[in-house]
Structure 1
Amino acid sequence: MVRTKRMLPVAAILVLALALTGMVASARPPMQGEGSEDSELVTSALPYGSRVTDVLGDDADEDGYTGAVSAAAAVLEPSEAAASQPAEAGAEATALQPDDNDYRGPVDRSAQAEIAPSELQPATAPDWEQSFAEPQPDQDSYANPRGMDDRSPDAWSSFRYINVAGATLRPRDSSSGWDYSGTGCVSRSSGSELINIHLPIPDGSRIDYLRIYYYDTSGSNNSRAWVTNYNSSGGYTDVTTVTSSGSGGYGTQLSDYSGHIVDTSARSYVLNWSAAQNGSSMRLCGLRVAYRVPV
């Protein structure tokens, strides 16, 4: 009897301890599977600074913003040193040329200029055209009658232009190197490969002229540029070409009239440039394609 009385306080203490443990456990939410972080640390951590996405519309680059907008400075920090800028062109260079709108001078469209090839033609190539004797599902003529939506070949828009900086062109083979010469110009540093870039010309447009902008102090060589199209079967056509001229530094030259009608359904168009030599004394600064679209 005495022993039973002594055990009662011990049992009471154990019951009280178990009750307190259950209360603490019930105060914590159960873990939803195994996590990579301690849930208490994640839920109790304070965010490090404010986030721009907390409230949509409170920043100038978000829809719904109605606050003040700070304007850019009137004079922007130049992307290149002013000393590297070429001298302004003279009055002779600013006169209207055949590839400018409002030009009223003579244009010789009778002669077909002989175009020096940009590469050797392949001896043999697969004839993909034999697979398209009839319209295919990925061609417009498959669903529409031939000749639909024909437009007069004499109805063309005013000139439109695609300008490409020389610095965007790259050698088409890793055996040749290139250097950036400043003010958007590129030069070939090694090898002998052409430097080129894709020409995003609209289908059905008419390419009239190619203009080259260059820097040349070589004294003997002239560089050459082409608009070339490839038929994806090993064949190509040089649409038009233009060469640099002289060795007095910066200059521009215009190709002969072309009048080529663009067909992107069968051909891919590329701007090619041959430096004719390596080194910074011969640089391509830009190419401009003057074209028209049907109206």
Structure 2
Amino acid sequence: MTPSRPDEPSDAAARRSRPAVVVYPVETLPSPDMARLLDARRTLALVDAVVVPPRDAACFEVPRGHFCRIVSVGGPQVGDLNLWNSADLSEGFFSGKTRALHGTHVGVGDRLWSGLPFLRPLATITHDTLGWYGFDEDGGGVHDVIGTRCDPYTNRLLHGGDYHHCCHSNLARALGARLGRPARDVEHHLHDVLNVFMCTGFTRDTHRYFMKASPVRPGDFLEFFAEIDLLGALSACPGGDCGSSHSSDAAACHPLRVEIFRPDPAALAGLERPEPSAYPRTHGERPPSDVASP
């Protein structure tokens, strides 16, 4: 039985007409030194590359001060990206706060922020060959921080049965292999992703999350600068270009290539490393030393 919709109050129009207010004004947000980063891009030398097979994932490291490119190499393909502080996996990418600060889809100049209590930029996006796309007539854009990643738990909930090549499982296997542990023992480190190359938005009538065929083509890439030493994991989504389905073997899938570049150190000499948030984590509680003894 569908619940009935309540009657509108007499002042419904007035309530709806109130002005929208941006939640996080970003005028005081620390800005990356894009001029220096773009200048450093002219000196890049390839130092490592990793191929991510279709319906699988791979881990890679990006040292602080290096640049990383995620490249389309075989055909239209979406990738799900996780990033962590390589020295401390409890500090990982915070897609929700990144979305709140920069919007539902990210591009050049936007930063990928870490979770609480750290809240600092892990990476800064420095180049995007799909930057021309913008938002289409459906409201779709590329590189979203909306979706969570396809996973076998939701797949079983909605469709029954077990599918082991969802992005969550791919990422868990890759991270487990890197750490020498079973996937089930490391999956708690996985977090909501940056959906690289994925074209997504919200439907205008029901505001449900949608996907459509990605505009990515071989040779396209998304590039970011590592603000700290990073461990990354990238899944080549089983949905391929995510134009019709995911979490199955039905879609045509292609590999992705991760490329790591070192710039001339002189180009970034003196560039400061972002530090974790200085908030003291008291949360309004009095320190134990301030509590009087009985």
Q: TM over 0.5, yes or no?
A: no
Q: Which has the higher contact order (CA 8 A, sep 6+)?
A: 2
Structure showing greater Rg: 1
TM-score where L is the length of structure 2: 0.26
TM-score where L is the length of structure 1: 0.26
